[in-house]
Structure 1
């Protein structure tokens, strides 16, 4: 049978004489639909009722088990499956694990969950599938040699086949000490993106290699989260690269369900971003209307309005996007409402402040030009990153620096370190266009630029130390301007990205400032904005004092 070619890797597999045999996954599907049952009322029925395999689950099973190598063995040794919450991933994991210990000789199956309580949930799902479904007749009673032994106290299920061979399913939390021992024939990493980052890498290194050596299968089945430094994000990126044809790997089966970051609205509402579109919710959540009603997503979206944490959670957990942070400081709804169609030509010769946030020499650097018009503040950003690093980070972090450069939104400086002279040259160009009142800067990494501007070109420079005492007021002012729609920006893609990454911290005195350490991605433009606002605020304070002096 000729399979559907989803990726360049599939074509490569065909060229290597791999083939497709649908009879094998059909047996898995038949097993699922014969023995799967409701263990919770998530399908609208009662406990014990049989369930059908959901179409998206069949697509995964068909690919995973249907592709064979020329010698008849399974083509894939890894499954990378990412999808939003509430798609019945647990049901799929449970039946795959039970099927594996019943059909694979001398099978050892690990299902690894994020925490102890989640491991118990996973175990109960599998155990209750046996207790309430058609397999309950095989639960150990007396000396029946063909039976399941459910060991509740250690989260373990053992299956003894008619030949007396014992196969084992172990469910455990994601701690390295819990998964040492013999190499497993199947490992299912449940919600790996929620695991402790260090533990995730250790477990992957320990089990993936050992399982591959045995011819085993390692499955990551997870919902995206917020940490782009996590193993989960790297595996998601790897899966995306295979799907996009950027990487050829015939051993990995990739599936990603989610709303693409660049998606445009597909419904009649004309939303400005794809993640707001109900049509995309349906595409990203293939179990919608089966495991959870469509109204659930409408209700969740209503919570998003001007609620930063709710927005980040909705986009990540229900749209499958790697967005921001659970403690996202700036509402993207409010930020979107601040966009306005304007260019630098609209502000020629006007007074402005520059706010500059320096970078480690290998990272993003930015400055902004801030113009005050009545009660509004208009911002124009300038962004820089070393060209060599942009190419690397586009692959590892999935941040489209090269596309932004083609769009004229960011400057790539030659080499692998920031070229400060390029930044100075651009500031001097802006000096000719606008009336620069002050260059305000974070002192970290800015001394060379300061000396050049102040001593060589006579531009007034003001150091803005990054302490909560100094930065609390401009940070709060930035939030106020955004919420009130008084901060106006030109819908600049790099700036939009930075705004979604912002996390703030509050000290013991309730002073707030942006927190680069907890922000999972770059926030440099927003930090430059907060620094520049110290100049705007000082000017406003001076204006208020002037009548008294007169």
Structure 2
């Protein structure tokens, strides 16, 4: 079988010009594709006055998906087995999904074929079912050919006995089934379930036995920084779109190119494919201004849902002041090795608690020329953290894949690895001192001593309100642009988790305020900042040995 290229490297130009995001597909079976579009177009919106047909009420992006899906099945092999559509709210995603699956029932030739719509919640499941049933009931011919079972949320097409089920997400949904087609609605919500990655793996496994089987994902961007299976699927779709990965996945991603200013309403039409139908750009403008007035937290949430703006750093009302300036100071090219090459002196901060905490390490180097601060971080975790913090387990696995979090199997390996890294920095001739929380540091101090890092080079950093100076120092250096960091997702998460508690004229950021979320590497950064703010003398010229 010749693999179809589904890359669309000119997507940025296409989306700005209002063109289709589908790549050229010369092998598409045009007759089947247009037959499916004709069926789709004749379906009617059941909840709109006059029940208009989708030929006028549906968006071109919906017909693009229908054309690609049904035109890629040649009777023997499906050349597009998956479609990943990233579409903002109010663009009729759930209605489009219901219409596509009704079209699939009518196009299907397999007797007793099973099709499933999986929604994240009972409410969304009910809406998808009502839309599918309403489209059938709006056409007398279809109403006679379908059998609707309300109590089962099951719709059967009598000529083939193929049926469509609509379900809310549950790990049991794929048990014992071999579906011919599945549509996942709002993957970013489904992905928050602890078993989401396993279930989606089972879904793919169930489709293997059906040569015509397909998986459609239609989702909005996440309200939180993407994580887990949602992040993995989104990144995979982007790689296919950009030509980095060859896979039978059609990406239809309505998101702004990096160079486009998303806050300008003049640009919103490019990510609003149903503009003029279920939504208009003009109706978004008042909501946008209301979100601006409500603050940065609400603005980011609103933009993620209505404009598909990816949140890199979640902000809450009691967020640390430095969080607002965190993202602009990211330098993705900054590595620990580069930091050591540029620095004339280095301080290290370490912070960690019990077994269900992270062990965080942060390195701050002072640039020998500009005297700007360069920050790099890493964390370690025992598997018990993933077990006790299941809601964040997928996110931590992402950090591990990024290389910023090490999951150690044996208790004590984390301390040894931290001490080894500090020793490597010391051998480079740059280490000034290591700052730690005075409480519970015995194991780390012993490991450092074994590597000849002792005495005044191991400093207890008082916590609570007494570290307020370091917190404010980092805030100012982020705001004035004199601190750079690699833009690690791990640290963006920790920064977003930080909660500020006023203490008179001081402020404190504590693990208790952060709750189940983790901030250990950020606290380690405050410890390192406390030492660097003392303006340590530059060490002798660094060794040619760098880690």
1:129 to 125, 135, 138: 135
TM-score (norm 2): 0.67
1:31 to 11, 32, 39: 39
In 2, the alpha carbon distance for the partners of 1:457 and 1:333 equals: 34
User: Who is 1:321 aligned against?
Assistant: 310
Cα distance change of structure 1 residues 217 and 498 upon mapping to structure 2, 3 Å threshold:
same
User: Who is 1:518 aligned against?
Assistant: 517
Mapping for residues 443-522 of structure 1, pairs under 5 Å: 446-447=444-445, 450-451=448-449, 455=453, 458-459=456-457, 461-463=459-461, 470-471=463-464, 474=467, 478=471, 482=475, 489-490=482-483, 492-494=485-487, 498-499=491-492, 502-504=496-498, 513=510, 515=514, 518=517
1:193–1:230 CA contact under 8 A, matched in 2: no
In 2, the alpha carbon distance for the partners of 1:419 and 1:58 equals: 54
Mapping for residues 255-274 of structure 1, pairs under 5 Å: 255-259=252-256, 263-264=258-259, 266=260, 274=261
List per-residue Cα deviations over 1:278-333 (Å, max 9, x = no partner).
46543333334443222444445442468353244235323252534475935788
Mapping for residues 396-407 of structure 1, pairs under 5 Å: 397=398
Cα distance change of structure 1 residues 535 and 490 upon mapping to structure 2, 3 Å threshold:
closer
List per-residue Cα deviations over 1:8-60 (Å, max 9, x = no partner).
99xxxxxxx992222222222222222232525xxxxx251223331222332
Mapping for residues 263-342 of structure 1, pairs under 5 Å: 263-264=258-259, 266=260, 274-278=261-265, 281-302=268-289, 303-304=291-292, 307-317=295-305, 318-321=307-310, 323-325=312-314, 329-330=319-320, 334-335=324-325
List per-residue Cα deviations over 1:122-151 (Å, max 9, x = no partner).
1112122233x3x24542xxxxxx422332
Matched, 1:65 2:70: yes
Matched, 1:175 2:162: no
How far did residue 516 of structure 1 move?
8.9
2:374–2:484 CA contact under 8 A, matched in 1: no
Structure 1, unaligned runs of 5 or more: 10-16, 41-45, 140-145, 267-273, 372-376, 387-392, 403-416, 465-469, 540-550
List per-residue Cα deviations over 1:85-142 (Å, max 9, x = no partner).
22221122111111122231333211111122221111112122233x3x24542xxx
How far did residue 157 of structure 1 move?
1.8
Matched, 1:188 2:166: no
How far did residue 220 of structure 1 move?
1.8
In 2, the alpha carbon distance for the partners of 1:447 and 1:533 equals: 19
In 1, the alpha carbon distance for the partners of 2:451 and 2:84 equals: 51
Cα distance change of structure 1 residues 400 and 150 upon mapping to structure 2, 3 Å threshold:
closer
Q: Give the number of equivalent residue pairs.
A: 462
In 2, the alpha carbon distance for the partners of 1:491 and 1:149 equals: 62
In 1, the alpha carbon distance for the partners of 2:161 and 2:480 equals: 67
Matched, 1:381 2:389: no
What secondary structure sits across from 2:116 in the alignment? Answer: strand
In 2, the alpha carbon distance for the partners of 1:172 and 1:441 equals: 51
2:419–2:451 CA contact under 8 A, matched in 1: no
Cα distance change of structure 1 residues 96 and 38 upon mapping to structure 2, 3 Å threshold:
same
Cα distance change of structure 1 residues 203 and 358 upon mapping to structure 2, 3 Å threshold:
closer
User: Who is 1:119 aligned against?
Assistant: 125
Cα distance change of structure 1 residues 68 and 31 upon mapping to structure 2, 3 Å threshold:
closer
User: Who is 1:548 aligned against?
Assistant: none
User: Who is 1:241 aligned against?
Assistant: 239
2:348–2:422 CA contact under 8 A, matched in 1: no
Cα distance change of structure 1 residues 102 and 486 upon mapping to structure 2, 3 Å threshold:
closer
User: Who is 1:108 aligned against?
Assistant: 114
2:156 to 142, 147, 158: 158
In 2, the alpha carbon distance for the partners of 1:365 and 1:183 equals: 48
How far did residue 424 of structure 1 move?
4.8
Higher relative contact order (CA 8 A, sep 6+): 2
1:340–1:488 CA contact under 8 A, matched in 2: no
Structure 2, unaligned runs of 5 or more: 10-24, 332-338, 381-393, 404-415, 536-547
Cα distance change of structure 1 residues 96 and 479 upon mapping to structure 2, 3 Å threshold:
farther
What secondary structure sits across from 2:36 in the alignment? Answer: helix
In 1, the alpha carbon distance for the partners of 2:207 and 2:288 equals: 41
User: Who is 1:366 aligned against?
Assistant: 362
What secondary structure sits across from 2:179 in the alignment? Answer: coil
